[in-house]
A = this chain, B = another copy of it.
Amino acid sequence: MPDEQGHPELAEMELGKVLSALADPLRRLVVRELAAGPEGEARTCSSFALPVSKATVTHHFRALREAGLIRQVDRGNSRMATLRRADIEQRFPGLLALLVAEDTQDV
């Protein structure tokens, strides 16, 4: 399968889809952990240990990818996810900061 599958371009990112993607607490958790990690960090879907089934994990990562928040590339056996930090910051400046600040509260 091709690498570019459901990754919107920078200009194609829509605020509505981004907000809908971030309305789910599990997806916010993924973005927050990626944003708190080092720049360009690549993690597998399973490394987040989400308390849901594999099929649901795939569903959530698809939502994040189609919103333009993460980029997924195949690396051998796994599919690595990276945060599109620069794209998000350019298109929606300050958005990531709001998400990172949430971990000081309850989820």
The answer to whether A19 and B22 touch across the interface, beta carbons within 8 angstroms, is yes
Which residues of chain B are near A19, meaning CB under 8 Å?
19, 22-23, 28
Which residues of chain B are near A107, meaning CB under 8 Å?
16
Q: How large is the interface on A (under 10, 10 to 19, 20 to 34, 35 or more residues)?
A: 20 to 34
Stretch at the interface among A70-78, A79-87, A95-103: A95-103
Q: Could you jot down 26 A-B contacts, CB within 8 Å?
A: A14-B105, A14-B106, A15-B28, A15-B98, A15-B99, A15-B102, A15-B105, A16-B23, A16-B25, A16-B28, A16-B107, A19-B19, A19-B22, A19-B23, A19-B28, A20-B23, A23-B23, A92-B98, A93-B94, A93-B97, A93-B98, A94-B94, A94-B95, A94-B97, A94-B98, A95-B98
Interface residues of A (CB under 8 A from B): 14-16, 19-20, 22-23, 25, 28, 92-95, 97-99, 102, 105-107
